[in-house]
């Protein structure tokens, strides 16, 4: 897996080089930079480099906000909440996730809601609230299953496996 991340980082480096030389409409260019920062953040998170991940997702958040790209904005906030959980900033994570879930439910966006619910499960797991964690993870898994998001179903099953049997 680390070898795949190293390969992905190489491709992101190539993408950065291209983005610095190619002439696009500014909004299109900014969206491409968002994609690069997003995947840099995701890779950094997966290898537990949370400070670097946080910087990348803050860049995504800032640029997505200026472009009013709501999906990227939401995804960045959800990743920032996951980072906050890993760094023990549980109140910050709670605030980000409550806001995200409210927006997702208001817009009837089951996909966004599922990501928030899985992150809420991780938050409650970090707090030792096993019953609440199981509730959120079960809801997230059901949503991911209905949406056909198999990798996310598996990742949520890992959360459920960690908290199985804990009271």
What are the tokens at 153? 């179903």
Mean pLDDT by 10 residues, the chain (167 residues): 66 65 74 86 94 96 93 95 98 97 95 97 97 98 98 97 87
Rounded to an integer, what distance in angstroms lies between the CA atom of residue 27 and that of residue 79? Answer: 23
Q: What pTM was computed for the model?
A: 0.85
Rounded to an integer, what distance in angstroms lies between the CA atom of residue 104 and that of residue 106? Answer: 5
CATH class of this structure's domain 1-87: mainly alpha
Domain range list for the chain: 1-87, 94-167
| Residue partners of 129: CB distance under 8 A and separation at least 6 | none
């Amino acid at each position: 897996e680390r070898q795949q991340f190293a390969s992905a980082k190489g491709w992101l480096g190539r993408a950065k080089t291209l983005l610095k030389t190619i002439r696009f409409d500014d909004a299109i260019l900014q969206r491409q930079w968002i994609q690069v920062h997003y995947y840099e953040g995701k890779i950094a998170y997966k290898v537990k480099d949370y400070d670097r991940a946080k910087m990348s997702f803050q860049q995504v958040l800032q640029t997505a906000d200026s472009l009013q790209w709501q999906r990227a904005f939401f995804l960045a906030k959800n990743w920032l909440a996951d980072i906050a959980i890993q760094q023990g900033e549980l109140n910050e994570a709670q605030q980000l996730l409550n806001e995200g879930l409210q927006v997702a439910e208001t817009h009837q966006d089951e996909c966004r809601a599922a990501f928030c619910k899985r992150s809420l499960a991780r938050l409650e797991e970090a707090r030792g609230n096993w019953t609440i964690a199981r509730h959120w993870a079960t809801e997230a898994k059901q949503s991911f299953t209905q949406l056909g998001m198999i990798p996310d179903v598996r990742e949520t099953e890992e959360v459920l496996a960690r908290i199985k049997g804990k009271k």
